[in-house]
Amino acid sequence: MTREERTRLWSALSDAFVDNEVDYKAIARQVAGFDRSTIKRVFFEEVAPVCYSNLQAPIPPIWTAFESTWLTETIESTQEARRTSTFRRLRDQAFVTYLRYRLKAEWLSIERELDHQEAADAGR
């Protein structure tokens, strides 16, 4: 996957973490064409760890969209920290396990829209 494709995938999935009504249909349209297992892994292991705190803030700073440069730099920095630190890798694995539980409904909403989109595309 190219850096541009990764950035596009990260940006689309980050929309699930804005403090506004989430348009899961739009997210599904943007990530269509990527492998479903890749989308799920990226959602939980790359995007959620850096965007989840927006949902936890009393007054979330991000309402409509995460800035793509910040998002890309933050995810890449997180990935580098995991590569270079065993402690960070283990800590993040535990956090991702929590996120898989906590964000299950959000993932299922994305998956449901992907299913609808695939069914509609098959019907054409």
Q: State the pLDDT at residue 66.
A: 81
**Alpha helices, DSSP H only, in 21-103?**
24-31, 36-42, 48-51, 53-56, 68-84, 86-102
Q: State the pLDDT at residue 58.
A: 55
User: Can you spell out the DSSP letters for 13-31?
Assistant: HHGGGSSS---HHHHHHHH
Residue-level pLDDT, tens digit, the chain, 124 residues: 898 999 999 999 999 998 788 999 999 999 999 999 999 999 999 999 999 987 775 555 565 678 899 999 999 999 999 999 999 999 999 999 999 999 999 999 999 999 999 888 887 6
C-alpha angle with apex 48: 95 to 67, nearest 5 degrees? 140
Instruction: Identify whether the C-beta of residue 28 lies closer than 8 Å to the C-beta of residue 22.
Output: no
Q: For the whole model, what pTM was predicted?
A: 0.92
Q: Which helix (H) or strand (E) holds 122?
A: helix 104-122
